[in-house]
Amino acid sequence: MARALLVIDVQNDFCPGGALAVPKGDEVVARANELMDSGRFDLVVATRDWHPSDHGSFAPQGGPWPVHCVQGTEGAQLHPDLERAGIDLLLDKGQDPATEGYSGFEGTELARVLREAGIDHVTICGLATDVCVHHTALEAVDEGFAVTLDTAGSRGIDPQGVDRTLDEVRSRGGAVA
């Protein structure tokens, strides 16, 4: 079984001090590095929100979120302690101002890349458990991949949202570790 690690949106704006900080979001970095260094994965893909300044999810455009992860800004960059050498591919998502871009699959070549690499199982970690990790995990299931959501390497915005995410991943056939 070929395995991939998906490191979702471990970016400055989602960590303490960022524009849309996930509580204790920076705590996922050590676990993501540990997973990358484990030798268990044939491919490591990191995603990042890479929004245009007029993205539809931003409050000034009527969306639910503050302006965050704008293309080319410091907030959109990967957390400085995330080991770049362990990442095989960096995929930007959320570039279309008219779509949410929550899932690492939406508007990217992720499914094709995984299939071409012969991947059949993905482990997912990152930010935020109840938003982008959630959508990526469910879409991975829909794409036919075996899925494990790594809770030690993920943090969420809302505890109840995190619980709902974990329940939904399990109910759709994914694993939670």
71-104 pLDDT, tens digit each: 999 999 999 999 999 999 999 999 999 999 999 9
pLDDT digits (tens, 9 = 90+) for 95-142: 999 999 999 999 999 999 999 999 999 999 999 999 999 999 999 999
| Residues with catalytic function | 9, 93, 132
Amino acid 35: pLDDT:
98
Please give the Cα distance from 118 to 1 (Å, whole number).
9
How many residues in the chain?
177
pTM (two decimals): 0.98
How far does Cα 149 stand from its chain's mean position? 11
In the chain the domains, ranked by start, together with CATH numbers, are 2-176 (3.40.50.850)
